[in-house]
Each structure stands twice: as C-alpha cells, then as structure tokens.
Amino acid sequence: MKTVAVDGETLTIHDAVAVARRGATVVFPPKTRQRVQRCRRALEEIVRTEKTLYGVTTGFGALGTVRVSSKNIKELQRNLIRSHAAGVGKPLPKDVTRALMLLRVNTLAKGNSGIRLKTLETLINMINRGVHPVIPEKGSVGASGDLSPLAHMTLVMMGEGEAEYKGATMSGKEAMAKAGIDPVELDSKEGIALINGAQMMTAIGALATWDSETLIETAETATALSLEALRGIDDAFDARIHRVRPFPGQIESARNIRLLTAGSKLVCSSSETLRMTANRSPQDPYSLRCAPQVLGAARDAIAYARRTIETELNSATDNPLVFPEDKECLSGGNFHGQPIAVAMDLLGIALTIIGNISERRIARLIDENLSEGLPAFLISRAVKKGMNSGYMAIQYTAASLASENKTLAHPASADSIPTSANFEDFVSMGTISARKAAEILHNVEFIVAIELLCAAQGIDFRGPNQLGKGTEMIFRMIREHVPMLRKDRILSSDIQVISELVRNGEFSKVLKTLKYGKPK
C-alpha cells in the first residue's frame, strides 16, 4: 500500500487523492516530529512568561480581550471545540473527510502551530485506522478557517461527537475505542491550532481539481467524437492558429482534438468540404470551431486552481503562529479562505463553461436541420415516424443541468456577512465556493456523458470505420457498455453507465494513451 509522508512542505493533490480515496498510509518523518516538538517547547516557554497571547491565554474572536488564567486553559480549549461544533446538513463524503484530516495534519506538521506531538499523532492514527468524524457540510463562512467543520473533527479526537468506523456510525468515544486510539485532552493552544485553517474548502477543492483535470480531457474526447459525427471542418484545430494566440490551455486542447481525430475520414479541410458540398459554410459553428479556445480557457482556470490548492496544502494557516527561531507568537490572518474561495469560484465558472458548450453540441446532434444529415433526435428514419422520440429528452436533461450550473456559478466569494459581533467583519465564503464547484463538476460529468452518447449514436449512422484512431477507441468503449438506440428505451441508466466511465477517467485514459503510450 502506498504511503504518504507529511512534512508540511511537499504534499500534493495526488497525495491527497491517494489518502482520501485509495487508503494510502500516512507516515510522519523523524525531522518533522522534531520540528513539531521544537515548536511546542518554544510555545511553552512563551506561555511561561505570562504574555497575553490570543487564543492561548485569552478568549476567542470578539472575546480576545478577556484574559484566561493558566488553571483554566484546558477548559478553554475544550469549550472552544464544543461551542464551535455547530454544523448542519448532510455529513461530508468519506473521501472529503479523509482529505480534510490529512490537510490539517500537514499544516500542523510545518511546526508553526505549537501543537503537541501526541495530539498530532492521534489525528494521524485516526486516518490510518479509519476513524472518520461525522462532519456536517454546512456552517462555515471560511474566514477564521473552517471552524465548525474542523471542530466536529476535533470532537472525535477528544472522544466526543460522532464518527464512522468500518461502515457504521457511532459515538466518537466508541469509534476511538474500537480502533484502539486513546482520546486526547487538549492543552494550551491545541484547540485553536486544530480548527484555524481552510482545510474543508481546500479538501473539497483538491478532489474537485483532480476530477476536473480528468473531466477536461474527457470533454475533449467528446468534442472530437461530436466533430466527426457532425462532419466537422478541421482547419480550426491547425497548430498554426493556436501558435499565434499562445494560451497554454488552448494549444493543449487543439493538440488533443487533433490527436483523437487523426486518420479520420469524417472530418476534412474547408476546401475539401466545399468541393463535396457546395452550399455548406466553410466554417463550423462556434461550439465546434471555438472548442480549443473555450476548453483551453477552462484548462488554464483548472491549472490556476491546482497551483492555488497546492500552495495552500503546504501553508501554515493557524492563528496565532509560533516562530520558534525567534521565540515569538504572532497573530495574523493566514486562516482566511479568500485565495481558495476565488480559485473555487473560478473553477466552478470554468466547469460551467465546459457543460454549456457540450450542451450546445448535443443540441446540434439531435437537430436534423443542424446535424449535416443525421436523423431527427438521432433515431433511425426507418422507424415509424413519431413513434419514437429517440434522444429528444436526453437533451432536456443536459439543458436542465447546464442551466442549474449557471445559477451555481455565481461567485460565493463576492459575498460577505460579518460574524463574531463584527470582529470578523469580512469573510470569504470559500467553503460555499468549493461545495458549489463540486456540485457543478458532478452535473458536467453527466452533460459530457450525454454528449458522448449522442455523438456515438451519430457515428452509428456515419459508419464507425471512418473514425480517427482515438475517436474509434472512444466509440468502441461506449458501445461496449451501451448499445445503439434503435427504438425508445429508458435512458437514465445509459447516462449513469457512461457518467461512471467519465468519473472513473476511462475516456481520459484513451487520450493519455495516445499522448504517452500505454501505461506499464
């Protein structure tokens, strides 16, 4: 089984996926242990000087001016966790919870939070032994970090709250006992160290970014298959066009569509098209001709999301932060989720665009007036007219999802509601941004699956033997799982089957094989 080392410096989205979805074991390097212990010693020295330290010897938020005596410090930390465990709604999916726990471990491992090694090891043991706190999805404004979600995580560390263990939900105390993990009694600063930071939004964002990278490649395969089903013109994908407007994503998308359609007898140049069909325009509609520009812009947005997420994965986001070399404890705002909020809103917009342009190609494929000779709603003309609706209603579903995404794409980061008696007067709403991006992603996976179904149906009428090398592989994969629609049947199951292939990256693998060869 793969192991992932947490050192506060080198965690990647790939590592997060390995732990969250593939059960990789978290290991803690000796140098990182030493760094954590050094920071704790520095904090304890500062506390002994009886300096006023926010969240250590004071209350929290608007209560930061209230001094707390040393004999009440442990109670202060317990009360912080209990009072902030105020989330509502459905529990987070298990993969998000595991990613959230890993990310919190990694930021604490930087050695700027002052947490005890024993406390941090408790969280690592929970990940490795499968104790997953039940964390409600709603309740964070993403400002002093994801306070409420992380408080629900920390409750289980204390032997309180609820957890999932080996498929069953139970009390946190019972789950910890069954896993053989001793609950912790939080000491000075440990409560605030565990809940200050944007780990919920970043966990959702890391997984959504990973899945978006798969989705954009799948969208390119769907575009290529639609291009052939609609007898498209390949001039628009010529490398020379994209070289003179050198956005990286645009260049990559055009290259991928060329690779997929290489050898196709269904796409041709504008001059060839005019020779064959005198009354046809030498240019395709934007949903085909501008696909590299549109999908390329989405690619660049996804790349920005990745850079932002991976910076945040390895950042110290606690408050206050301890700097052992200077023997100082400084208050700041690294917990604020604004960088992630903006990145997740951008990701949601990019995903919405992918779905929008996909739906427009679906609409062309089913419209006999726009599809270059394909039958209405992609059902054979040999079938008695009017008796079968074909793929009429499948476009309704795509249109519904695309419209829903347009509403979800409104940026949550543009909003702010003051909290904590106006002390926390500007918040990020980043957790909402991340949750919306994940929801849009799921919708677009369905839309792209629908496009693949419609494009494959169009290819059945054109002749699969005319496909390009890559698109033929895509078409065969679809037909291995879903037969051609010859008369009306229930379509939701077909959509579900293909969407699972989309989600699992099966179509993306075809493109990777063309680019890099078969994986060993």
SS3 assignment for 54-109:
CCCCECCHHHCCCECCHHHHHHHHHHHHHHHCCCEEEECCHHHHHHHHHHHHHHHC
Give, in order, the Cα–Cα distances in Å from 269 to each of 142, 206, 231, 470.
51, 41, 10, 19
The amino acid present at 487, given as its one-letter code, is K
- Please say if 396 is a catalytic residue: no
d(CA 408, CA 430) in angstroms, rounded, equals 14
Catalytic residue among 54, 286, 304, 516: 54
Residue 124's closest CA among 14, 9, 33? 33
Task: Using only the alpha carbons of the chain, give its radius of gyration.
Answer: 27
d(CA 27, CA 5) in angstroms, rounded, equals 5
Sign of CA dihedral 415, 419, 422, 427: negative
Helix, strand, coil content of the chain in percent (nearest 5): 60, 10, 30
Residues in the chain, overall count: 520
d(CA 476, CA 193) in angstroms, rounded, equals 52
Q: How far from chain centre, in Å, is Cα 298?
A: 14
* DSSP β-ladder status, 162-165 and 136-138: unpaired
The amino acid present at 374, given as its one-letter code, is L
Residue 497's closest CA among 480, 519, 484, 512? 480
Question: What 3-state class would DSSP assign to 326?
Answer: coil
**Degrees (nearest 5) of the Cα angle 119, 2, 6?**
35
What residues contact residue 272 under an 8 Å CB cut-off, 6+ apart?
none
For 435-476, give the DSSP string: HHHHHHHHHHHHHHHHHHHHHHHHHHHH-GGGS-HHHHHHHH
**Bridge partners, residue 91, by sequence:** 136
| Residue 110 half-sphere exposure toward CB, CA atoms < 13 A | 22
Question: What 3-state class would DSSP assign to 170?
Answer: strand
- Please name the helix (run of DSSP H) or strand (run of DSSP E) that holds residue 323, with its range, or none: strand 321-323
The residues annotated as belonging to the active site are: 54
